[in-house]
Amino acid sequence: MVREIKYRARVLNSKKWIYRQPFHIRGTWYMYNSLWDIVPIQHKTLGQYTGLKDKNGVEIYEGDIFYAPGNIAGEEFIGVVEWDSESARFITRGYPYLTNEDCFVKGNIYENPELLEVAE
């Protein structure tokens, strides 16, 4: 079985997202853009594709905010997709057993941090 390995990150000093393989040169992280120009990225926004899509077919990346509208014991749930190195898998912080069929991507922690404030 071959799993697609993809990444996304924001372009440095921009709100634009880029989807390519990252690389590191002399302290700075980069990706190639669609024209194959080397573009510096905001390393903290770098997230790996989980290999899954939400119930609407949207690709799920690390840092995405996952939303379950009353699917979990009748309760609304909002959580963040992150890598759990102990179990070597992607989980949703706050509720590790959500499935992609239960939920959808509502945003991400970089563009929509206010979604998490509402959840707290």
Domain ranges for the chain? 1-45, 49-120
Q: Per-residue pLDDT for 17 more than 90?
A: yes
- The topology (CATH level 3) of 49-120 is SH3 type barrels. (2.30.30)
Whole-prediction pTM value?
Answer: 0.85
Alpha carbons 53 and 43: distance in angstroms, whole number: 23
Alpha carbons 70 and 38: distance in angstroms, whole number: 43
Q: In terms of pLDDT, which residue wins out, 92 or 25? A: 25
Strand pairing category for 7-10 and 47-53:
antiparallel
> To which H or E segment does residue 32 belong?
strand 28-32
For 21-73, the pLDDT digits (tens) are: 999 999 999 999 989 999 999 999 999 999 989 989 999 999 999 888 875 56
Please report the pLDDT score of residue 76 as a whole number: 79
Average pLDDT value for the chain: 87
